[in-house]
Structure 1
């Protein structure tokens, strides 16, 4: 099953984002996202935190399509996500893979800087990362990865760089 999450937002929510300066433009009564690339998020249909992460992406201006996939291991293997970097959902954007609860600001930097890499990952499910709000926030690393290399792309607490 696939659906366009951006299209399912309420008009009030989208207009609230535009007024708050979240990267949306209101032109002639229409709401248009700025020029961020389409993201495709693959997730297990029973996962609730994935939905919250998608809300974070949309609130930060990304157009998002969600694919509910019962066999996420196969998706991760096909897209080249190393098992030690795995989390609950996997996304594709602008030729990159985004694994786990990566903040939108890190994804924007990735697509702007265009490093030679397979993608970004936040292994596990750190408390306080986008989609995992609640409880005492942890500081966590966003990892830039290729098949055989890894480096810290940024360190975050909640969805802010530290």
Structure 2
């Protein structure tokens, strides 16, 4: 009986420690060279286990458009991770949801630069609405609210 309890305890300990040992999620973030909030967002991602390669560009709108993000839904920066586009200051738990669920969409977006969102200054005053970036020409739909 004691052996079984010890084995189960050790198994639980290893299972709980495994995520901490996992490799960081690799991401490439394109941003306007003058934008400082994007650097704050990259730091937020790094603090949450992502390895982020930041690439300044003056072609951000074109990068977002080519990734399928409609102009009205574009955020402050465009990130690519695990085959998905993540546009704007999307909270990390929503990114993790995307990577876990693996929906058949191009990605997700939080349009604009909402105050209080990750990397942005200020206090959050309303729910963040994160939209899908569809692959099939359909209109974006709500993916999550925060």
> Would you call these one fold, judging by a TM-score over 0.5?
yes
Q: Which residue of 2 aligns with 1:101?
A: 89
TM-score (norm 1): 0.72
SS state at 2:138 partner: coil
| Higher helix fraction (1 or 2) | 2
1:35 aligns with one of 12, 23, 35? 23
Q: Which residue of 2 aligns with 1:149?
A: 139
* Aligned residue pairs, count: 127
Q: Distance in 1 between matches of 2:124 and 2:98?
A: 27
Q: Contact 1:129–1:137 at 8 Å: present in 2 too?
A: no
Q: Name the CA distance, whole Å, in 2 between partners of 1:38 and 1:136.
A: 28
Q: Give SS of 1:88's match.
A: coil
Out of 136-145 and 111-120, give the one that drifted further: 136-145
- Runs of 5+ unmatched residues, structure 2: 1-16
Query: Is 1:81 aligned with 2:66?
Result: no
Alignment of structure 1 residues 25-64 onto 2, 5 Å: 25=21, 34-64=22-52
What is the CA-CA distance between 1:87 and the residue it aligns to? 1.4
Task: Kindly report structure 1 stretches of 4+ aligned residues shifted beyond 3 Å.
Answer: none
Residue 97 of structure 2 aligns to a residue whose secondary structure is helix
Greater strand content: 1
Counterpart Cα distance in 2 of 1:60 and 1:69: 24
Deviation at 1:143, TM superposition (A): 0.9
Partners of 2:40 and 2:125 lie apart in 1 by 16
CA RMSD of aligned residues (A): 1.7
Contact 1:88 1:100 in 2 (8 A): yes
Change (3 A) 1:136 1:153: closer
After TM superposition, the score normalised by the length of structure 2 is 0.80
